[in-house]
Amino acid sequence: MQTDRLAPRAAYLLVGVGGLIMLAPFYFMFVFATHSRTEIFNLPPPLFFGQDFMLNLGILTSKIPFWRSLGWSLYVALASTALTLVFCSMGGYAFAMFEFRFKKQLFTLVLGTMLLPSFLGMIPTFMIMDAFGWIDQPRALYIPGAASAFGIFMMRQFVLSSIPKDLIEAARMDGCGELGIYWRIVMPLLAPAMGTLGLITFIASWNNFIGPLIVMRSPEMYTLPLALRSMQSPVNTEWGAVMAGSAIATLPLLVLFAIASRRLIDGLTAGAVK
């Protein structure tokens, strides 16, 4: 990084204050997790931590199989992330670097599916899962997700912006096989993009709620969003427990982000073209 001169302090201040504003609602989630629902509904709401966290956790674990749902969420998110990264990096690379038949049409079609809201696919998706016998199976959540239009699009854009064509050509000249090129040259260069896509995929899977709503019938197979939502009713919701659940559910994402961001932001020397 070049630091020719210190950026003006005002800019730092602005970024700092902006960051605090961004964090405020997040802070409240953790604060609410430690209060009873009666207190949460006070106005103004509680601004500091209370003592009811364990109480909320007790309500939570008695009403829903919370830890089990957490486990399923983790399993599905990890599987989904791994599959998506492999398939989408392969596909995105092919779209960016090769010419093949119907490439344009196929890509347009892929983008096209991004343009339709997901709940419209609810009934047909349910039909497919039913035909495959995948109802109540975690694979119904992570396999379809691996064909992510978003992932293909993103990988393609990354390959276009960061991998020079002549690098690939040079590797071919050196007698490197096609899969070897993908594996040894493209993959390492895509690492930051992989980190980003991995993070986004994980988060999307973690917070996905329409998917599990369609395919999961048994409470013991519920992922977190479904389990937490199953505690809500228009007339009687244990908000304190729901907030505690939401707060705990956010922790794995925080950890993941901490790990991924280090990799993301420490960056890689993209100086492969030498």
Question: Minimum CB separation from other proteins for residue 31, in Å?
Answer: 10
Measured from the CB of residue 67, what is the shortest distance to other proteins in angstroms?
A: 17
CA torsion angle 234 236 241 243 (round to 10): 30
Q: Which residues of 101-110 are buried (b: 16+ CB within 10 A; e: fewer)?
A: eeeeeebeeb
Torsion angle, CA of 111/113/116/122, rounded to 10 degrees?
A: -160
The Cβ of residue 8 has, within 10 Å, a number of other Cβ atoms equal to 9
Q: Which is nearer to other proteins, 51 or 133 (CB)?
A: 133
Neighbours of 192 (CB within 10 A): 18
Give the residue ranges of DSSP H helices in 116-190: 122-132, 139-145, 149-162, 165-173, 178-180, 187-189
Shortest approach of other proteins to residue 54 CB, angstroms? Answer: 18
- The nearer residue to other proteins, 61 or 207, going by C-beta atoms, is 207
Tell me how far apart the alpha carbons of residues 92 and 106 are, in angstroms, rounded to a whole number: 12
Which lies closer to other proteins via its Cβ, residue 56 or residue 226?
226
Q: How far is the CB of 69 from other proteins (least distance, A)?
A: 12
**Shortest Cβ 273–other proteins spacing (Å):** 7
Nearer to other proteins, 38 or 67 (CB): 38
Which CB atom, from 2 or from 51, has the smaller least distance to other proteins? Answer: 2
